[in-house]
């Protein structure tokens, strides 16, 4: 039949714990911006030294703007992705939240837009 009252309370308590875990603090923002800055620095060095391209010319300025936006959104997205991975047993078996962070950085604007809706 239906769930009893204790099970409903347990579900509500678990949902509240997940919401509290997913709240972003100022420390998360600062660390996310620092890590995102390192990722952007890696992108900059890779593109200018290895590929020998100028990032402020037409085709590459679009990618540079995208990664600036990704750097700004990375603290929010990294927290969301780490909570999502820790809550999903199948993905946690395949990957950890630390391994997924470069992917979260690259797809940060897309994840942010999806999370809005």
pTM of the entire structure? 0.74
Higher pLDDT, 90 or 108: 108
Burial readout 75-88 (b: 16 or more C-beta within 10 A, e: otherwise): bbbbbbbbbbbeee
**35 class by beta-carbon count within 10 Å (0-12 exposed, 13-18 middle, 19+ buried):** middle
1 vs 43 pLDDT, higher one:
43
Average pLDDT of the chain? 82
Whether the pLDDT of residue 74 is over 80: the answer is yes
Is residue 86 over pLDDT 60? yes
């Amino acid at each position: 039949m239906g769930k009893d009252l204790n099970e409903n309370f347990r579900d509500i308590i678990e949902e509240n714990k997940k919401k509290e875990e997913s709240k972003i603090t100022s420390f998360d923002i600062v660390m996310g911006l620092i890590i995102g800055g390192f990722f952007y620095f890696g992108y900059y060095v890779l593109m200018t030294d290895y590929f020998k391209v100028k990032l402020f010319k037409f085709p590459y300025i679009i990618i540079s703007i995208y990664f600036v936006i990704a750097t700004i959104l990375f603290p929010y997205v990294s927290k969301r992705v780490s909570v999502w991975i820790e809550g999903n047993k199948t993905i946690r078996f395949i990957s950890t939240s630390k391994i997924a962070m470069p992917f979260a950085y690259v797809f940060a604007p897309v994840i942010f837009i999806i999370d809005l809706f």
